């Protein structure tokens, strides 16, 4: 499909929970195979971050189904609370995906120079440590940017770059 339909927005935690339960049931009948790389499997969650976070809190007492691990952002990302330094770091990672045509190593060096690992929360410190080896998962970067409205106070140019990143991800282009 050249341009997949946009995922529904405005879903509630109950809607997300029902979707996850349906997915778990379908997976128990016949294993659902979801490719992780650029599959867009997180579109519904990156479009409905508050509902996803709330739904995850409701189901996190249960054993997390393997199929949920394939579609949801990692538990560390869903439960992460960002401080201002974290928000700037995540925003810079998102910006580096699209705006700068640097090699991953050059972009990583720039980010590592600007942001110290000690000031970052949870999984972000791990992302920081591994920047020269691998980029953080784009769907999780988008999830955090949307959930914490990272680009709300930024310039029109930076917001546009983030919107381009989302479009590339939603259209399954290599990022």
For residue 97, pLDDT over 90 is answered with no
Exposed/middle/buried for residue 168 (C-beta within 10 Å: 0-12, 13-18, 19+): middle
For residues 125 and 63, the model is more confident at 125
Identify the top-confidence range among 54-63, 80-89, 115-124, 127-136.
80-89
For residue 39, pLDDT over 60 is answered with no
Helix axes 138-147, 84-98, angle to 10 degrees: 130
User: What HEC string does 3-19 produce?
Assistant: CCCCCCCCCCHHHHHHH
Give the three-state DSSP class for 35. coil
Q: What pLDDT is stored for residue 146 in this prediction?
A: 94
Q: What is the pLDDT of residues 42-56, one digit of tens each?
A: 688 888 999 999 999
Helix-, strand-, coil-residue percentages of the chain, each rounded to 5 = 60, 0, 40
């Amino acid at each position: 499909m050249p341009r997949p339909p946009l995922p529904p927005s405005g879903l509630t935690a109950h809607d997300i929970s029902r979707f996850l339960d349906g997915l778990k049931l379908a997976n128990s009948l016949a294993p659902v195979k979801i490719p992780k790389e650029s599959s867009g499997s997180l579109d519904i969650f990156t479009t409905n971050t508050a509902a996803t976070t709330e739904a995850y809190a409701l189901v996190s007492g249960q054993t997390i189904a393997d199929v949920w691990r394939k579609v949801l952002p990692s538990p560390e990302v869903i439960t992460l609370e960002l401080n201002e330094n974290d928000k700037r770091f995540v925003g810079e990672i998102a910006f580096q995906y699209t705006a700068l045509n640097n090699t991953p190593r050059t972009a990583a060096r720039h980010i590592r120079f600007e942001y110290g690992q000690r000031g970052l929360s949870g999984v972000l410190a791990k992302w920081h440590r591994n920047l020269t080896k691998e980029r953080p998962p784009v769907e999780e970067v988008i999830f955090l940017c949307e959930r914490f409205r990272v680009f709300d106070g930024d310039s029109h140019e930076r917001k546009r770059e983030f919107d381009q990143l989302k479009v590339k991800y939603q259209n399954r282009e290599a990022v």
